[in-house]
Amino acid sequence: MDRALDTAVASFPASSKATARVAFVDLKESQRVVLGDCFRQYGIESVAMSAQEAECLYHRKFEACVLRLVPGAETVMQGARTSPSNSRIVIYGLGGSAQDAMRFSKFGINAIFHEPLDRSAALKLVRATRMLVTHEFRRYARIPVMTEVAVVCADGRRFSATSMEVSSGGMSLKSSESVTSDQAIEVSFALLTLPRLWIRGSVSWKNPKGSFGVKFDLSDERRGALKAWIDAYIEN
């Protein structure tokens, strides 16, 4: 199994532009072709492997992986996230909705390619997240990650949202619930090794598709824990 993967890795053409590798786990050939081309445009090479071979994510260094959001995916994610080499690996889900992704939220899925796979949409997603994959963290203050977020409004209304990006200054969310600009809220969430915390903020923007931004209250000392986590993420 490792020998086969070694052969696949060794078969890459030498390229000074290739700065990172992404593992394609159990993807269809048509999906590998489309996504492989998208990543290649940013100097990111791909390695195709089966779910059985994906155990190598525990001990072989990869900057990212793409895997289908199906039963059994959690085993691959668990192996990657507990790996000394790949604990910060960028995880892309393929298929399913944001609600489906929430089943795997504890593993910190960073982004989702939706099915049927559209090349232009896939390229846009790769372009938006490539700095994480190529370790240009210092120029990318926002970390794309999907996790469940509890929202409490000033009037006592409570609802759940899905995070899209998070930074030390705020986060972007998606929800079917309506919010208003400048509305005071409090959000609660956990991120991988970051225990659940609450932070005060206000709605800074919204759009008709259900996405909205939250600007954290800079006077809320609890924001420090998130900043420390993001700094550690960047350093690693």
Nearest to 91 by CA among 6, 22, 184, 189: 22
Residue 55 has what pLDDT?
87
How confident is the model at residue 102, as a pLDDT? Answer: 79
Cβ partners under 8 Å of residue 74, min gap 6: 103, 104, 107
What is the per-residue pLDDT for 193?
Answer: 86
Whether the bond into 116 is cis, omega within 30 of 0: yes
Enter the pTM of the model.
Answer: 0.79
Q: Say if residues 53 and 29 touch (Cβ distance below 8 Å).
A: no
Say yes or no: 98 and 44 in one domain.
yes
Task: Quote the domain boundaries for residue 218.
Answer: 143-235
pLDDT of residue 137: 54
The answer on 177 and 117 residing in a single domain is: no
- One domain, residues 55 and 131: yes
Domain final position from 86, 120, 139 = 139
So what's the pLDDT on residue 111? Answer: 92
Examine the domain organization and report whether 160 and 207 are in the same domain: yes
* pLDDT value for 15: 40
Residue that terminates a domain, selected from 104, 139, 174: 139
Q: Is the Cβ–Cβ distance between 183 and 222 less than 8 Å? A: no
Residue 136 amino acid letter: E
| Structural domains of the chain, count | 2
> Could you say which residues of the chain have pLDDT below 50?
1-18
CATH number assigned to the domain comprising residue 188: 2.40.10.220
Per-residue pLDDT, 200? 98
Answer with the one of 113, 139, 165 that is the final residue of a domain.
Answer: 139
Q: How far apart are CA 149 and CA 198, in angstroms?
A: 10
* pLDDT value, residue 29: 97
